[in-house]
Chains A and B, each alone.
Chain A
Amino acid sequence: MTALGLSRIGHAFFGRIVLSGVSLAVRPGEVMALVGPSGCGKSTLVHIAAGLIEPREGRVTRDYRRHAMVFQEPRLLPWLTAEGNIAFALRLARWPRAGRDPRVAEAARLAELGPEDLAKFPVELSGGMRQRVAIARALAPAPDFLFFDEPFTALDVALKRRMQDLVIAAAAAARFAALFITHDLMEAARVAHRIAVLDSRGRGLAGLRDVPGVPGARSDREVFATVQDWLGRDPAFAHVHDVDERRRA
């Protein structure tokens, strides 16, 4: 059973090959983390999976009702209040008008947004609050698949943890499947069921590993031990921390 299937995906920008032969299958209800060094094409891959970019080769199969996405930046509409931004996703999903208000309230509750925050415009909110609104917007139309494109990279460590907990809780409650892009192995080891490592030059996968335990039930010690184990013994993770900002896309 596959919610999202990528088979032999390849893509190039202006003749420069960024991805080739990447195959991946995300099961229903499963959070899969996708890691890889900077510039290896993670972001391009998730944009292809979400249908924002047409791949040059390969096939994407989607077996779910509806997807939503959380981007690296909040990408809120500045002319709508937080409430309006959350309702925007419902409008695009053609959610029945009468059911929108309770659904916005439910999504705001999941993202731990208070009623006083909902009336504010994005310019009046802090960076963390904006990303919360972006998460609430993604959860609002009750998607059964979510794309996360390095959603918490710009947040500080404490805020990042709270957001990860929020995603773990929401995934457990709403049972959505997700493809979670990150370059932070600790983050991947906290939120995901499985972790896929993209080859450092985008040539297929370097490895696919089960993360021991269940998201939300892992202690910090276990998470740390898992990451140390990957970095120390697993050749798939050898190049994850390589940095080449010139190739950054």
Chain B
Amino acid sequence: MTDAAAPDRIRAETAAPPAAPVPKGARIGAGRGARLARKAGDRAGRLGRFVWSGWAGLAALALLAALWQAGHEAYGAFILPAPLDTLVAARGVLADADAWAVLGQTSWRAVAGFGLAAVAGTLAGIAAGYSPATLRLARPLLTVSLGVPPIAWIVLAMIWFGASDATVAATILIAATPVVFVGAAEGVATRDRGLDAMAEAFGAGPVRRFLAVASRQMASHLFPALALALGTSFKVAVMAELLANAGGIGGELARARALLDIALALAWVLLAVAALIVVEYGLIRPLRAEVERWREAAEPWGVKR
């Protein structure tokens, strides 16, 4: 039976590598155009939903403003200025060109520190995820480094680097790296080994298995960690600036405190949060939506929109 099959098998093998006849090729070209159109439509739909979801965000912010207004009416303008007054103060601040430089300085420091922490944390996390012994060694170290308050690091960094960008960046690096590290390490360590074995059975080496299989599973742990690290970066940047007297939003907050100008202080807080929102929704969320597109298919309708 098998011997009779052998010549056929050889023929099937030689015919197997693709040599598409011409009319078939034309049909495939049309299929590709249709697929591109489908992809473009899909992307427009997702962008539309992303923008539309802004209404829910606005509703939440409006609720917060209402609570704030209630607090203002209960305690008076000196303790808690009205949200509208704060907005007016923020607009006044932004009218000044120097304020944009201050915002830019803090944002730059936060994003640079975040970038360093993201790269260092991800690389170390991947290494630890593949090496359980390293992960076991790293866990107590993480507890220690997360247990030291960022303020202590600021004091140390001030001694090492003086009142400069480096102080802020170093403090962010120390404060934000452990979060990213844990996200990446857990993502790699808890990956589905069955998928690894599948890829290996289909001929993938270790590098391709990481790039095609493990890295995608890591992403679902890594992105929440990155969002958290970005928030930490902005908080720590402002705190470090305030304590180290290194300018930026922190410096402006210190000035507002000296002048007892609560509306100005709140305005700067508002602007810092706005900068964070711009970076998170302009960078992290779209990146995540792109990588984690398949999750949307699994979501029930009420979660989707």
Chain A interface (Cβ < 8 Å from any Cβ of B): 1, 27-30, 47, 50-52, 65-69, 71, 73, 75, 77-80, 88-89, 91-93, 95-96, 98-99, 101-103, 119-121, 123-124, 137, 141-142, 144, 147, 174-175, 193, 214
Contact = CB atoms under 8 A, between A and B. Distances in A.
B41 to A, nearest CB: 12
B195 A28 contact: no
A-B pairs, 8 with minimum CB distance: A99-B18, A69-B201, A29-B5, A123-B298, A175-B9, A142-B16, A75-B198, A79-B294
Nearest to B293: A79
A52 B200 contact: yes
A225 to B, nearest CB: 21
Contacts of B208: 92
Interface of B: 1-3, 5-6, 8-9, 12-13, 16-18, 20, 24, 28, 31-32, 38, 194-195, 197-204, 208, 212-213, 216, 291-294, 297-298
Given A102-B24, A121-B297, A175-B12, A92 B6 contact: no
Given A101-B28, A101-B31, A69 B198 contact: yes
Given A123-B297, A144-B9, A93 B203 contact: yes
Contacts of A119: 38
Contacts of B31: 101
Contact of A101 (B1, B32, B194, B197): B32
A68 B31 CA distance: 28
Contacts of B8: 175
A7 B75 CA distance: 86
Nearest to A53: B197
A99 B2 contact: no
Given A101-B28, A102-B18, A102-B20, A193 B1 contact: yes
Contacts of B291: 79
Contacts of A52: 197, 200-201
Contact of A77 (B20, B24, B203, B216): B216
A47 B201 CA distance: 9
Given A69-B202, A79-B216, A175-B9, 13 more contacts: A47-B197, A52-B200, A71-B198, A77-B212, A79-B292, A80-B294, A88-B202, A96-B17, A98-B20, A99-B20, A103-B18, A175-B8, A214-B1
Nearest to A122: B294
B294 to A, nearest CB: 4
B297 A50 contact: no
Contacts of B294: 78-80, 121, 123
Contacts of B203: 66, 92-93
A124 B297 contact: yes
Contacts of B197: 47, 52, 71, 75
B6 A28 contact: yes
Contacts of A175: 5, 8-9, 12
A30 B201 contact: no
Nearest to A193: B1
B194 A96 contact: no
B18 A96 contact: yes
17 contacts: A28-B2, A29-B1, A65-B13, A69-B198, A69-B201, A77-B213, A80-B294, A89-B202, A91-B212, A93-B202, A101-B31, A102-B18, A102-B20, A123-B294, A123-B298, A142-B13, A175-B8
